[in-house]
Structure formats: C-alpha cells, structure tokens
Amino acid sequence: MEPMGAAAVIIGNEVLTAKVVDANGPYLIQRLREVGIPLRSLEIVPDEVDFIVEAVSRARQRAKYVFTSGGIGPTHDDVTVRAVALAMGRRVVRLPEMVELIRQKGPERMTPEVMRLADAPEGAVLLHQSGNWYPVLTVEDVFLLPGVPQLFRTQLETVLGRLSGTPVHLRVLYLTAGESAVAGALDRVALDMPHVAIGSYPMFDPALDYSVKVTVESVDKAEVEAAFARLLEELPEGALLRTE
C-alpha cells in the first residue's frame, strides 16, 4: 500500500538541548491539518548524519510527503543534504541553477562555505518563491526546509500550494463529567461508527469549567454530524456543558 499523508523530521542539537524551543514542528502540524494532509509522525534528531538518515528513511516508509527542518545552511553542522542523499541512495551534486543564484547576490559571497548552499541530492529541483531569492529544495516529495522559523514558514507555504489534501470536519463537546462516567457512551459510538475519529481528553486545570474535551472528526461531514448526534443521545444526563 502506498504511504499517505506527511511525516516530519526536525533536525538540530539546539532543539534537543533546549537552546532553542522548536516552533516549526507545531506550525507544521497546524498547517497540515488546515489543508487536510494527515501528519503520520514527527521526529526530532540531532545534527548527526546517521540519525538523520535513519529518521528520513523511516519517514519515507510512513508517508508520501516528508518535510525536514534545519541543517541546510553553510556551516559545519549543516549535514541534512548529505544525510537525505544517503537515505535516498543518491550522490550529492552541485546545482548550477543554485550557483547562479548565489553569483547574482554578489561575487564576494561565493566563498567555499556559502557555496555549500548549492549542494543537493542528485535529482533535486528548486521551487522558486516570489520575493525570496532562496528557493525550496525538494527531491521526490522530500522537502528540505530551513530551521529559521520565518524562512521555514515562507517555504512551507510554497510547498503546500503545490499539494492537495482533504480538509477534516470537526465537532467538539465539553463535558463536566469525568472520563469514567462517559467511557461507555464513547465506546458504543466509536464501535458503531469506526470511520469517525473520536478523541477524549481529560483536563485537570481547575481554571477550566470542563473536565473532558471530546472531539469528533472525519473527512465526511455527514458522518461527523451523525456521530455527534449519537453522542448527544448516549451521554449521561447532565454530562454535557457545551458544544462547538
């Protein structure tokens, strides 16, 4: 069966050592959900070739689209290009198109370090963006995005504009009863309607006015509404606080 959805690999020692709080993973999760592409996994690994190779290989087995974040700059710890090439069984080559883009920024910038930006897995292509000289690097549905959040977000939008997904429909119920009191109702509806995803999330924050948040979601709006109506019938009297 062909993999579906997306998987992500967040790359950076700075994330794993708490020098930087990762903003790209949460943003990617939100944007993929908004465009209707399910995220199958998200893994955080250090700037080490072996770890990145293993993570990218796993991601490609799980999902059609793979997003990496970080490790594509000009410094010694930017090893993502080499690792992705190894994971895909390809050589690292220098892209003439990228060399020319660097040249246009000024001959003084063409140092050996900066020229590393022109290296890519063999067969890679560049997706150009309006208003940004640095294009998206992609090879066989693997998208190598920068770790800097502002650049990551800009490049992600370029990629998402070329992909298609199926938006998910969602209804939410906020309950005053605890999970143990509503588990039977959730079980019955989930068993009868397996194509609808029903999630139950207990809350222990005394500042909240509810004890459990229940979500009902599917790509089929009619099924969501049917499951939602069933839950309203099945829940114990007085358990429901409000809905969205």
pLDDT in tens, 196-211: 999 999 999 999 999 9
Q: What is the CA radius of gyration of the chain?
A: 22
184 found inside a domain: yes
* Residue 210 structural domain: 169-243
> Are residues 94 and 186 both part of a single domain?
no
In the chain, the number of structural domains is: 2
Query: What CATH number did the domain enclosing 34 receive?
Result: 3.40.980.10
Residue 131's pLDDT is what?
81
Helix extents (H) in 18-169: 24-35, 49-62, 80-87, 96-104, 149-160
pLDDT of res. 244: 95
Residues 129 and 237 in one domain: no
Are 110 and 40 within one domain? yes
What's residue 179's pLDDT?
95
Same domain flag for 131 and 223: no
**Count of CB atoms situated within 10 Å of the CB of 90:** 16
The domain boundary, picked from 136, 160, 184, lies at: 160
Which residues are 144's β-sheet partners? 68, 137
Tell me: do 53 and 117 sit in the same domain: yes
Is 1 among the domain residues? no
Domain boundary among 160, 187, 206: 160
Residue-level pLDDT at 164: 87
**Confidence at residue 193, expressed as pLDDT on a 0 to 100 scale:** 96
Report the alpha-carbon distance of residue 24 to residue 145 in Å, rounded: 10
Q: What is the DSSP letter of 77?
A: T
Specify whether 155 is located in the same domain as 186.
no
Strands 197-202 and 169-175: unpaired
| 203 and 140, same domain (yes or no) | no
Low-confidence residues of the chain: pLDDT under 70:
none
**pLDDT given at position 130:** 82
Domain boundary among 160, 194, 221: 160
Across 146-174, b (16+ Cβ under 10 Å) vs e yields bbeeeebbbbbebbbeeeebeebbbbebb
- Give yes or no: residues 82 and 184 share one domain: no
